[in-house]
Structure 1
């Protein structure tokens, strides 16, 4: 359905037709998809340069009941930024200013279009960093990171996006400008709305400015690679590592299939008898770091340990990390298609999750490999298949539903850092009880009474949930 002519004229005048207001089919197509490979072409694309423009366009869309979908760089994997109901995509690529860095307050004020990698580079001059470090950090935006509560390997020690935001300025679904939080590390003044908006995937408000909590850069880092005979031994080591006083700055897990792929395809130097791998990293100063590493080495030892390698310098650390870096390219050799979901379970239940996933791989005759952030139980379960093979695609989506069911049975949750988007929204009733879903819908209605902000995402349909995901080919 085309946009109302009055709305088109109003927003073309506001943003500049052909520059900040795009309606050409080829230009709109560039904003139709994200890294989930889903696609839906918007009716128009807005490229605002100020919060005032964002307010004005949301007010205009509210008046005409036209959907508004916020977009960073489209790196998310859940379809959260795909405009499935058409309307206007609001791309924040031109709102990319680092407004202020305040080292004394350990905070930075940024617009949503700032790239995570660009922010980190700017903060290095102040010996500071922003902890969230998703794989896409070099080309994902701060606004996108906040929208899905991005994390990354450092989250085990420093927290995810929600833990590292102090304040937000945002535009609600009626075009109202709201200010949430403050540039202080303590606050007890009303509801914690900034943390509510983080992870809401643009369904409650459009973030136009963020005040981020910064952390001093650690002077040194050291890595330890621990190889185990089986997953159970590795999981027991994770429990020991997380129980002792030294919190690792990274704690990454690879199952036996990942280890084999990294060795046989990626060329990583790994022994054939390794059934699981932990990459452990500590950071600190020259005085405290050796003691931290010693504590981690002690905790990593125990039954099932095959090998324990300590990298004493940066070159050795990079060599140890080579196995992890070789993994993603190696996965592409198994199948052209991949469903990568980031489920979370209590750390003590990682063995049951991995064992259950292996059983599902046998049942559905598909390769399924697991790796991820063991320190907080956040594993990336990768179901590999050929999308051109209808039978394989059918089995892959059936296996996905079973992975989610297993995760919830183990007391876990559907996502740790990717979000819900389209991919998992119909599984929400299995994870969230009806009264809580009703409350969530009520909150959505307060922020977005016309339901124009990113419709069709995160919250499930009100009809009975399906047993399958909305992945391409489903």
Structure 2
């Protein structure tokens, strides 16, 4: 049993937040104790701030009592990053959902962390712009959550992930200080880049209260191509060719043969049988789009190509991408248990990664499917199993360990956009050397001297 929150802290938080913005009833708290990792823990209280000053005061109050704080967006992450394993106060930013400004002349937006990705896209689109990160959960995930795990999505191959599209932040550190980092400019060489420290830190360094986001003009024209291959090796080789030539695709997605079948049978996509598929997109000027499509088509053509088609219209393009978005939930039709690892390797090593994953599938006698953002070398490796089968569950865990070993041997990293959270925390020493880990712990201690921000996440315990 944990000790209850001190009455003095509860009174201070209630006075700071006011009204119905401090939840203490167990039934209300329960909804803030889990995320898409399917892990759960009960917070001791939930705070729903609406202003920067309230966030500052609640951090100072929690620090005075050494009470943990877990920042939360919409709980769509898959790594347990927002599960309050140490109890304390969950700070949900759902009420800090204002777009404070869109400045087309400066190509930027000022937003609060609770703004939904989809709402930002609508607001930016009214001015002819978009914000590049587009994870699968874009309709209901928050910008703050996108920043916490450095979310990407299909467009990252050309436009970058969240970290590449944040110009500046205002945030409250674990020391209870409101800091500003970055600037509303695309160039800057003034001191250390704390913006890039905080983006991707999963709420362990500071709580973001405002983000200055880089906006990009919407392209005048977009074309989608579908390339079908005899096997995954042929498709992986095509990825390497596509990324080695001058015309950058705006999206480049990979599906292995089992994913192609699921996209057809569960997602309803009109796709012939194939050993693998690439979804390729080009965007740009109406006058130059034909040149881009031709260049990408040439690069996609090679040994093992079965068919190469251009989507004839927007409806056909949307149908294909809709099937891709439905893939992750569709995997559970094969088995109820799923381990989804969003590993990354250099693009040139995708063929080796795909070959290695297929070998592990055979070795452990488990379905292991791969799809994802091939242009960044970021593939979602899905290990499927039946949780009620103890032996199969053990094989799934062992297979996951071997996937990580394979990725590291290929000079890759453990996560491209999901983050580390709780699920992958103990694997971090495999991928990061002791000196670098020590430096990360020192940064954490500077931002959060009492360790109250999202304890137990990202960094493993020191020996």
Q: CA deviation at 1:276?
A: 1.1
Question: Structure 2 matches for 1:303-342, cutoff 5 A?
Answer: 303-321=303-321, 323-325=323-325, 327-342=327-342
Cα shift at 1:26? 0.5
C-alpha distance in 1 between matches for 2:272 and 2:130: 36
User: RMSD in angstroms over aligned alpha carbons?
Assistant: 1.3
Distance 1:320 1:11 in 2: 48
2:389 maps to 1:392: no
Looking at structure 2, the residues matched to 312 and 104 of structure 1 have their Cα atoms a distance apart, in angstroms, of: 35
Deviations 1:179-204 (A, max 9, x none): 00000010000001101100000000
**Paired position in structure 2 for 1:469:** none
| In 2: Cα distance, 1:134 partner to 1:266 partner | 18
Decide whether the 8 Å contact of 2:136 with 2:325 is kept in 1: no
What does residue 181 of structure 2 align with? 180
Please state how far the C-alpha of 1:236 moved relative to its aligned partner. 1.7
Kindly indicate whether the alpha-carbon contact (under 8 Å) linking 1:61 and 1:68 is maintained by their aligned counterparts in 2: yes
User: What SS is found at the alignment partner of 2:180?
Assistant: strand
**2:17 is equivalent to residue 7 of structure 1:** no
Paired residue for 2:71? 70
Output one character per residue of 1:428-456: Cα deviation in whole Å (capped at 9) or x when no partner: 00000000000000000000000000000
Check whether the contact 2:243–2:347 (CA below 8 A) recurs between aligned residues: no
The separation in 2 between residues aligned to 1:147 and 1:266, in whole angstroms, is: 30
- Corresponding residue of 2:49: 48
Structure 2: any 5+ residue segments left out of the alignment?
none
Q: Is the 8 A contact 2:115 2:143 kept in 1?
A: yes
1:355 alignment partner, SS class: helix
Equivalent position SS for 1:57: helix
Displacement after TM superposition at 1:334 (Å): 0.5
Q: In the TM superposition, what is the alpha-carbon distance from 1:66 to its structure 2 partner?
A: 0.5
Give the corresponding residue for 1:467: none
What is the CA-CA distance between 1:325 and the residue it aligns to? 4.2
Q: Is the deviation greater in 67-76 or in 319-328?
A: 319-328
Secondary structure of the structure 2 residue equivalent to 1:332 = helix
**SS of the counterpart of 1:113?**
coil
| 1:105 CA displacement | 0.2
* Distance (whole Å) between structure 2 residues aligned to residue 330 and residue 8 of structure 1: 43
1:267–1:326 contact (8 Å) kept in structure 2: no
Q: How does 1:330-409 map to 2 (within 5 A)?
A: 330-409=330-409
In 2, Cα distance between the equivalents of 1:283 and 1:135? Answer: 20
The 1:38/1:157 distance shift into structure 2, 3 A limit, reads same
How many residue pairs get aligned? The number is 461
TM-score normalised by structure 1 residue count: 0.95
Counterpart check, 1:247 vs 2:248:
yes
Q: CA deviation at 1:265?
A: 4.4
1:149-188 alignment, distance < 5 Å: 149-188=150-189
CA distance in 2, matches of 1:371, 1:83: 31
Q: 1:266–1:329: 8 Å Cα contact kept in structure 2?
A: no
Distance 1:323 1:12 in 2: 46
Q: Is the 2:69–2:454 contact (alpha carbons within 8 Å) kept by the matching residues of 1?
A: yes
Superposition map of 1:99-138 within 5 A: 99-138=100-139
Quote how far apart the aligned CAs of 1:323 are: 4.6
1:289 alignment counterpart: 289
The CA distance in 2 between the partners of 1:285 and 1:362, in whole Å, is: 46
1:89-139 Cα shifts (integer Å, max 9, x gaps)? 000011110000000000000000000001101111101000000001111
Shift of 1:44: 0.5
Q: Deviations over 1:379-406 (max 9, x none)?
A: 0011111223322222211211111111
Q: Where does residue 144 of structure 1 map in the other structure?
A: 145
